Amino acid sequence: MLCAIYCRLSKEDDDHSKESESIQNQKSLLVKYAVEKGWDIYKIYSDEDYSGIDRGRPEFNTMISDARDQKFDIVLCKTQSRFTRDMELVEKYIHNQFLLWGIRFVTVVDNVDTDVKGNKKSRQINGLINEWYLEDLSENIRAVFDHKRRNGQYIGGFPVYGYQKDPADKSHLVVDEYAADIVRQIFAMYLEGDGKQHIAYLLNQRQVPNPTKYKQQNGANYVNAHVVNDYGLWNRTSVGRILKNEMYLGHMVQGRRKKISYKSKQLVNVPKEDWFRVEGTHEAIIDTESFEMVQQLMRTRTRSDGTGETHILSGKVHCADCGSILCKTSHTYKGERRSYLRCKLYATGKSQNLCTKHSIRLDKLTEVVEEKIRGYIKQHYEIGDASRFEVENQSDKKQAKLEKEIQSLRSQIERRSLALKNLYLDKVSGVIDETQFGEMNESFLAEKKSLLKHLEKANAEIAMLDGSKPTNAGIIEKIKGLLECKPMSRNLIALMVDTIEVSEKLPTGEQQININWLI
């Protein structure tokens, strides 16, 4: 008779230090048993580090396919739980499909044998106990994870883009300066009026790798299940996730999604009020004011014109009569491309409309609004001498941080070099054997290579900063330009303007524009 041997090392097993030995022990036990019974071995199927509830086990599924094709007569396992801990699979295969396919199921330790009449109930009870064990284990693990989340400890496998795990404490996050700088640029571009799609386009033009590609380039075995062949490119979704993520404020936010059950890998969204949120657990990348302003801009439901760029009044202009948003349309007039805004409830070509057109040229409206804002600022604020402002030079602050990081990296590299030297001496003197030397030497060399790569990146960033420091005069001019609203920025409009109401145009051509102020 032909026998298929199935072995599995479980994720829920306690001792992960002897994985290969555990699998090997199962193989030895089962091969010996098969030989004693006089069975010929068709094939040994083996899954390492897979849960007994996992239906995606590759070797398990290959064995089931071969059983369906009746390539062997017997399935042999150490215990029934090695085959599965899922009661549904026990019933499906052991008590149904295997019987139809003429497959006998046998285990060595708990004496399961489908050829023995009368032990079906014991197999079912055994299956229930195995499933209950896994359910209890899952609840215990979840309780431990929830406790860590409440304490602000990071439990994920891969930190959010912009951070990395602290080498001294894996549950604590530290800033990854390269990625953090990209995050700051994304927030700055959005506040300057660039849409999410346009920001993605600009990052791709500069060949900045997206978060998935960046993690992979830094040696992480990271796979984004939602992405197929993105070639490391940014898109509006990846930019949007960054703009909404509170983690950049220094707050630990976890538990946004959860599995529907311990038996399924499917995830569902968790209501925001049930998230685990702990403030001040790590260094912030974005200040609170900038983050809140970005959220306010996104709440206005701005839309681009297809290029990824939104106009600076987007989401703010409303119909004075019905209150609807005025939507942007464009057409060519005498060879010139012009953009207009008109009421959302007006539809060209319909005999009955819920509102009138309220059409207005976008450039003309922008001029009127900018003039009103300048007048409002002059009425309530005197610009005076801008040189009295105390300006913190962010370049100096960043350079000091980089210099500190470089000093730390050099120190770590020196320690790795010394460790490699001592390791060689230990090998020569016989303190460690060839195998130990090989493993430790490979580890130290990999660490040193990674540190040298980070040192090179930090030196390159500091070199770029040296030629880009703003002068005090330049900063003062920038402040004056901001206070005089030249040019007008979208974030200033978002800060000052609640809504802009546009009335229907009168027969005389006059059209009333009213601004409701936030300040």
Pairing of strands 252-254, 104-107: unpaired
Are the C-beta atoms of residues 222 and 336 closer than 8 Å to each other? Answer: no
User: b or e along 179-212 (b: 16 or more beta carbons within 10 Å of the residue's beta carbon)?
Assistant: bbebbbebbebbbebbbbbbbbbbbbeeebbbbb
pLDDT 10s digit of each residue in the chain, 519 long? 899 999 988 755 544 444 444 788 888 889 989 999 999 999 999 998 887 778 888 999 999 999 999 999 999 999 888 898 888 888 889 888 998 999 999 998 888 888 887 666 676 676 666 666 666 666 666 677 777 888 888 888 788 999 998 888 888 899 999 999 999 999 988 887 788 888 999 999 888 999 888 888 876 655 555 554 556 789 989 999 999 999 999 999 888 877 766 565 667 888 888 888 888 889 999 998 889 888 887 776 555 444 445 677 877 889 998 888 888 887 777 778 888 888 888 765 455 667 888 899 998 998 898 888 888 877 776 655 444 444 445 566 677 778 888 888 888 888 878 877 777 777 777 777 777 777 777 877 877 888 888 888 888 777 766 555 555 555 455 545 555 666 677 767 777 888 899 999 888 888 999 998 877
Q: Give φ, ψ of 125 to 5 degrees.
A: -65, -45
Task: Fill in the amino acid letter for 304.
Answer: S
Amino acid 467: pLDDT: 54
Are the C-beta atoms of residues 36 and 3 closer than 8 Å to each other? Answer: no
Contacts (Cβ under 8 Å, ≥6 apart) of 503: 320, 321, 358, 511, 512, 513, 514
State how far the Cα of 148 lies from the Cα of 132, in Å rounded to an integer. 25
SS3 for 369?
helix
Stated as kind and residue range, the H or E segment containing 474 is helix 472-483
- pTM equals 0.48
Amino acid 17: pLDDT: 41
Name the nearest CA neighbour of 78 among 30, 39, 45: 30
Are the C-beta atoms of residues 172 and 165 closer than 8 Å to each other? Answer: yes
Task: Fill in the amino acid letter for 162.
Answer: G
DSSP class of residue 469 equals P
Which ranges in 102-176 belong to alpha helices (H)? 120-150
Amino acid 310: pLDDT: 62
State how far the Cα of 164 lies from the Cα of 175, in Å rounded to an integer. 6
Are the C-beta atoms of residues 15 and 22 closer than 8 Å to each other? Answer: yes
